[in-house]
Structure 1
Amino acid sequence: MDNHSVYRTNVIGAGEAGVAVSVDMEKNVVHQTNSLFWNTIGNDVLGATSLPLYGAFVSEEKCQLFGDVSGKRILEIGCGSGQSLQYVGERHASELWGMDISENQIEKTRQHLSAHGLSAQLICSPMEDTCGLPEDYFDIVYSIYAIGWTTDLEGTFSRIASYLKKDALFIFSWSHPIHKCVVADKNGLTFKKNYFDESWYSVSLGEGTLTLSDRKLSTYVNALAQAGFVIEQLVEQSDEEMLQSRNNDFANKARMLPVTFVLKARKR
């Protein structure tokens, strides 16, 4: 991976990161870097975002995007430590499936579900790759703060469409791209990054390093359309009740611009 001497301030997930270094995207290197991060310190550094939360200040309990999941076959892309699969499993989904790039996360999911009397079919693979998941099979595919890690957004959405039955749902959340561009300081909000810049970058967090790209909201929308999805709902607003419980710079920022977005789409 070819590092350049171009630095910028950026935001990872819901927290502020330090300096990010622009890099050339090489799929295999990105996978190795990010899988190592999540195999070792990912949860310790970034924490885990899971249902009923879609991210900062957005919840399924308020949005009700899933509807009744009882009897549904459900797949999670980026299953992390298994809390979201537990959430849908306890609501009587008929089958739970999970995919993650990290062997460590897969094992955490297995142990977590077992401790709660649940089980799932779990696959360790990059979401972009062929991995043996059944096609035309699932009623719902969802992803909580994981889709943005893909090195091939269009290809990933096409694969997800192939896993879904006709008229089935795809729901995912990610850090809102405008949130990645703006930092809160004592003078209010300041732009630190060009919204239209989708170049790849690497950032050091704790003792680890991760690599990703900040895509525009239109990039996600257009990729969904190309994969054969119809968008049913876009959530950008923060939950006011959740904001009231927080009084810090991050919450103040969320009162003025979206920090998380959620898209609900249906396979045509």
Structure 2
Amino acid sequence: MNNDTILINKKSWDEVAPRFYGRTALPEYGPFAPEETELKLFGSVRGKKVLDIGCGSGHSLKYMNDNGAAELWGLDLSHSQISAAGELLKDTNVKLFQSPMELNPGLPQTYFDVVYSIFSLGWTTNLEQTLKNVHEYLKPGGVFIFSWEHPLFSRIQNTDDGLLFNKSYHEEGPYDHQAWNHPAIMQQYKVSTYINSLVDTGFKIIKMVEEARITDELISRDHNRWYNWSKVQSVPTTIIFKCEKH
């Protein structure tokens, strides 16, 4: 775990949290990605204990509550995000923890039916430790679902000559995201690194999704942004995994 990176990212998220209020939350998995209403990766969550890693403003937990989840638990690095989630979910039984995802702040082990992370996992400074924590939180047979920016997307840029690689796909590790306007450090991994890390941790991969869904509304909303139409036509924005604990 890199404490310096975590402190930088916490400060950044505490500042920008209002700008991301309610953004990229279930049923959405990510920009231009198929939604849960189509994929149905979770199935019924009625009566289940769920944990959100990187819960942000709490809107994915609200989605879980609206669909009958029995227990709502959330973890996020940012004090601002946890405060927003607490206010949004004040009429529920939610339990919220402000903590890096690399640490267990007191969450029960072998307890949850479902752990998920919507467009947050790439902020971890230690993928293996975070996956180990998730595996420990889940009951045997429990499900882990997560989405993140597709590893190809930030390696390719729009130019006047078309789409070009701006860094090697083989390069992994921390990087400053081109579209992030505050000091912050994300992590870059190959698809094979995610797959192998999940398998090595003890997960069975049930499904991987990297398709795009393109609508006129999304094209209009995201025009000239990082996730723009000309790039999305050729490069997937989002990768989604559904896994099961052995």
TM-score normalised by length of structure 1? 0.84
What SS does structure 2 have at the residue aligned with 1:53?
Answer: coil
Residues 169 and 266 in structure 1, CA contact (< 8 A), matched pair in contact too: yes
Question: Pick from 50, 58, 67: which aligns with 1:91?
Answer: 67
Q: Is the 8 A contact 1:243 1:251 kept in 2?
A: no
Are the aligned partners of 1:72 and 1:95 in contact in 2 as well (CA < 8 Å)?
Answer: yes
Secondary structure (helix, strand or coil) at the match of 1:52 reads: coil
Instruction: Give runs of aligned pairs for residues 251-262 of structure 1, distance below 5 A.
Output: 251-262=229-240
Gaps of 5+ in 1: 1-25
- The one-letter code matched in structure 2 to 1:54 is Y
What is the number of equivalent residue pairs in this alignment?
239
- Residue identity over aligned pairs, in percent, reads 38
Separation of aligned partners in 1, 2:80 and 2:118: 18
Secondary structure, counterpart of 1:105 in structure 2: helix
Structure with bigger strand share is: 1
CA apart distance, 1:62: 1.3
SS in structure 1 opposite 2:29? strand
* Unaligned runs of at least 5 residues, structure 2: none
How many Å separate the matches in 2 of 1:127 and 1:153? Answer: 9
Q: Distance in 1 between matches of 2:195 and 2:63?
A: 27
Alignment of 1:97-176 (within 5 A): 97-114=73-90, 117-176=91-150
CA contact (8 A) 2:45 2:64 kept: yes
Q: Match of 1:246, SS?
A: helix
Structure 1 residue 252 displacement after superposition: 2.5
1:72–1:94 Cα contact (<8 Å) kept: yes
Partner-residue secondary structure (3-state), 1:173:
strand
Give the SS at the match of 1:210.
coil
Q: Please name the residue that 2:245 is paired with.
A: 267
More displaced stretch, 168-177 vs 52-61: 52-61
Q: Distance in 2 between matches of 1:191 and 1:222?
A: 24
Aligned to 2:55: 79
Report matched runs for 1:233-248 at 5 Å. 233-240=207-214, 242=215, 245-246=218-219, 248=223
- Matched to 1:33, the amino acid is I
Partner of 2:164: 190
The structure-2 alpha-carbon separation of the partners of 1:88 and 1:46, relative to structure 1 and needing over 3 Å to count, comes to closer
Give the superposition deviation at 1:119: 3.4
